[in-house]
Chains A and B, each alone.
Chain A
């Protein structure tokens, strides 16, 4: 239960703070940190819930932008970066980056409590 609550709360707060775009883009790491402090779990569980929360959130948001855009821009960016124009890989990497940062922040939070 703690695990699922952490995921849900981290994702919700990360999304909410991301609406304030005058704050830096990485502000969500503080949400992940605070959730991990507030809902204490074993370090590996904190990491995983932090990771999954933003991994899923970012992939979801990216897909929500990308689908109505018919992959027009993601394909171009996947050529610039370069990922051979593969937008699926680009979406995955997007999720991975967000997830990794969030997971590491949550891990830090978990160690802070214990």
Chain B
């Protein structure tokens, strides 16, 4: 043996192995373990799915009661045929795991405040935020409720068993790509993870945390000016339940607190704490159902497109589930059993977000900083403590000791506060903290036969409140805003409330039969698009008005009113409609104020484009870009000066507030630029400045060839890890905010569905993603281009016997019971 060369080469070999077996730092993140990641027998090469890969298989499976058949159609949509419900949900869990395991687990890591575990302390703030908000607390409460119902318990247990059957049999080399990239492994699925995922949806749709910033706005502007910026009712509101509907006497007689003007509305307290993150304000949706009286076929058509963040892998996974008591098809959530938006043999249903305010903050007065006792109704009350342990990759655990009050967790205390807010304590009361069983609603909807069973299915649904639209083969159409909505007095919870006084507590939940409801109206359609569900005669307060976008609902109703002999093609066109009704309202106002004689030739050019624009936010419209840039400039020049005077985090008012003010009031208070002491600007002054500034920006855009609307808007669908290589950019799609085709930059129609309830159900659907979450599969993003083009896939809703013979079924997976 040659000692020295031996030792040297052995050391080099070992050193190389070690270097290639650890994650090396690379900027803010880390590389994968390169040797492992690049190894063709272990690493990512194994995720490179052959373009003619066969998904057909025969598996011997423990944990099912009888054999299960799964047929995959050419889009990789599974059609599951099981002899009982448990086996069907087992299979659903298995398929979700097979195609979306990394995504479904990652989402529950986010919801549970466990991101630091896998990506390190960079995400600690996010983890603290979700823990302190009480996400895990709420999920635990809901889990108990779900487990106490035999049907949903069976569904969740079977679902979890199915996910785990897949994980257990997963060979290391077949781990999903992202696990290899980030270097961790999946852990067993649990029913709690399903509950956490559903709480994440509750957060996304009812978790607006901006009461704190609105409290600042009220303090900074004063109540009267605040109400001018965030006005209460808008003339262009067309509520979900038509105006003129009469509401019975409320069962809950609300008692309004005393001395509110000084103790609540007049309080000048500011809150330095601001939410670490907020759900996208654009989370919304469209749904409508037209009755047979308005359709060509004589049968109802129902349409739904939920607007959510556009991500890869997509939030939805399409499938058909058939058991002896259920034959249903639609969009499912990887992470939960049942079909969420879809149809069955006799009914079709869809949802939009209600936007109702079910999350409030209370300022707590503790005896001292130990937070053991707090003052309430002239007595000291004891807190309990909830310990949340956050594991951090490569660092010691972080322990959050959260004080629990009668309201809920004390989200902001001295350990989780902005610098200037030490000594102040805010507890959060959120309906999603409470025990509830939302899955039961979807489980029953999957099986509903008629409008009575639809009503029964949704009657127990709590949070996040939704507008459930419905149509049946028998011809009924209906819509109901359902959820556990807090019976609120006007403006209750718009701002932080005193936590020392029982009169500010929630006084009850609106009885389910008082929730807004409409069935078979004479006008022949029902619809919702997140607008206020009722007019001001409704006895309960819905929440801050700007939670409720106005214009989509307005234009949908106007278009539907004008239509008759409706076909599926008409509905496809309507879902992809790019007409900008907000611009229709705003343009004449802007034109009225804009003094064109002061414009130079360049500015005049853009003015002409704006004036002649056809009001459609189509792909190539330059007018849409001119309008958007102009309008943003108007807002900034109108309000920016006031906002620049403070460092407080303040909410920005809505377009509707400004346009309605300019229509009514030619001496808008906020027009004056507070920075120019000697001059009092008018609306016309501001509009002119705004247009001139906009023209400069437009000229710069034009130089870069970015004046066309879709290029300017630049819609993208990003991977959940924001990795550009796994994302899709620069999609050619029109639409935008306030438009029925609500596609914004990274947000929009996450599932488009149209179902005609003819004898042979005629259904269409598409979502911006693909059935396989593996970035190495051609099914990863296979729907995106068609989605952007406004196309649909005809849905195969098919009985087992037909599926066996169908040429459109490409693969057959069977589970054999062992």
The answer, among B39, B181, B724, for a CB contact under 8 Å with A18, is B39
A112→B2 CA distance, assembly (Å): 7
The answer, among A18, A66, A114, for a CB contact under 8 Å with B2, is A114
User: Would you call A65 and B40 a contact (CB within 8 A)?
Assistant: yes
Per-residue 0/1 for B34-72: is the Cβ within 8 Å of any A Cβ (1 yes, 0 no)? 111011111111111111110000000000000000000
User: Would you call A25 and B48 a contact (CB within 8 A)?
Assistant: no
Asked if A101 is at the interface (CB within 8 A of a chain B CB), the reply is yes
The answer, among B5, B40, B49, B724, for a CB contact under 8 Å with A94, is B40
Interface residues on B, range: 35 or more
Q: Which residues of chain B have C-beta atoms less than 8 A from A72's C-beta?
A: 48, 51, 776-778
A108→B9 CA distance, assembly (Å): 5
User: Would you call B776 and A21 a contact (CB within 8 A)?
Assistant: no
Asked if B562 is at the interface (CB within 8 A of a chain A CB), the reply is no
User: Would you call B20 and A26 a contact (CB within 8 A)?
Assistant: yes
Given contact pairs A69-B48, A111-B1, a sample of 5 additional A-B residue pairs in the complex whose CB atoms are under 8 Å apart:
A22-B172, A72-B51, A93-B38, A94-B40, A107-B9
User: Would you call B48 and A66 a contact (CB within 8 A)?
Assistant: yes
Q: Which residues of chain B have C-beta atoms less than 8 A from A68's C-beta?
A: 48, 50-53
Per-residue 0/1 for B11-39: is the Cβ within 8 Å of any A Cβ (1 yes, 0 no)? 01100110011000000000000111011
Given the interface pairs A80-B723, A101-B35, A114-B1, the reply to whether A25 lies near B49 with Cβ below 8 Å is: no
A79→B727 CA distance, assembly (Å): 11
User: Would you call A65 and B48 a contact (CB within 8 A)?
Assistant: yes
The answer, among B5, B10, B42, B775, for a CB contact under 8 Å with A73, is B775
B602 to chain A, nearest CB (A): 39
B179 to chain A, nearest CB (A): 14
Q: What are 21 A-B contacts defined by CB distance under 8 Å?
A: A18-B41, A25-B42, A26-B35, A29-B17, A58-B40, A68-B53, A69-B51, A73-B47, A74-B45, A76-B725, A76-B776, A79-B724, A79-B725, A93-B38, A98-B40, A101-B13, A101-B17, A101-B20, A104-B9, A107-B13, A111-B6
Per-residue 0/1 for A59-90: is the Cβ within 8 Å of any B Cβ (1 yes, 0 no)? 00110111011101110110110000100001
Q: Which residues of A contact B (CB under 8 A)?
A: 15, 18-19, 21-22, 24-26, 29, 43, 58, 61-62, 64-66, 68-70, 72-74, 76-77, 79-80, 85, 90, 93-94, 97-98, 100-101, 104-105, 107-108, 111-114
User: Would you call B6 and A61 a contact (CB within 8 A)?
Assistant: no
A74→B51 CA distance, assembly (Å): 14
Q: Which residues of chain A have C-beta atoms less than 8 A from B52's C-beta?
A: 68
Q: Which residues of chain A have C-beta atoms less than 8 A from B10's C-beta?
A: 108
Asked if B585 is at the interface (CB within 8 A of a chain A CB), the reply is no
Q: Which 3 A-B pairs have the closest CB atoms?
A: A73-B776, A61-B40, A18-B41
Q: Which residues of chain A have C-beta atoms less than 8 A from B51's C-beta?
A: 68-70, 72
A64→B775 CA distance, assembly (Å): 18
Query: What residue of chain A has the Cβ atom nearest to residue B721's Cβ?
Result: A80
Asked if B435 is at the interface (CB within 8 A of a chain A CB), the reply is no
Query: What residue of chain B has the Cβ atom nearest to residue A96's Cβ?
Result: B38
User: Would you call A94 and B38 a contact (CB within 8 A)?
Assistant: yes
B632 to chain A, nearest CB (A): 33
User: Would you call A108 and B6 a contact (CB within 8 A)?
Assistant: yes
B727 to chain A, nearest CB (A): 10
User: Would you call B38 and A97 a contact (CB within 8 A)?
Assistant: yes
The answer, among A62, A85, A97, A100, for a CB contact under 8 Å with B45, is A62
The answer, among B36, B50, B171, B778, for a CB contact under 8 Å with A25, is B36
Q: Which residues of chain B have C-beta atoms less than 8 A from A76's C-beta?
A: 725-726, 775-776
User: Would you call A111 and B9 a contact (CB within 8 A)?
Assistant: yes
Query: What residue of chain B has the Cβ atom nearest to residue A79's Cβ?
Result: B725
Asked if B655 is at the interface (CB within 8 A of a chain A CB), the reply is no
Q: Which residues of chain A have C-beta atoms less than 8 A from B53's C-beta?
A: 68
Q: Which residues of chain A have C-beta atoms less than 8 A from B685's C-beta?
A: none
B525 to chain A, nearest CB (A): 44
A66→B50 CA distance, assembly (Å): 8
Per-residue 0/1 for B173-215: is the Cβ within 8 Å of any A Cβ (1 yes, 0 no)? 1000100010000000000000000000000000000000000
Q: Which residues of chain A have C-beta atoms less than 8 A from B39's C-beta?
A: 18, 25, 58, 94, 98
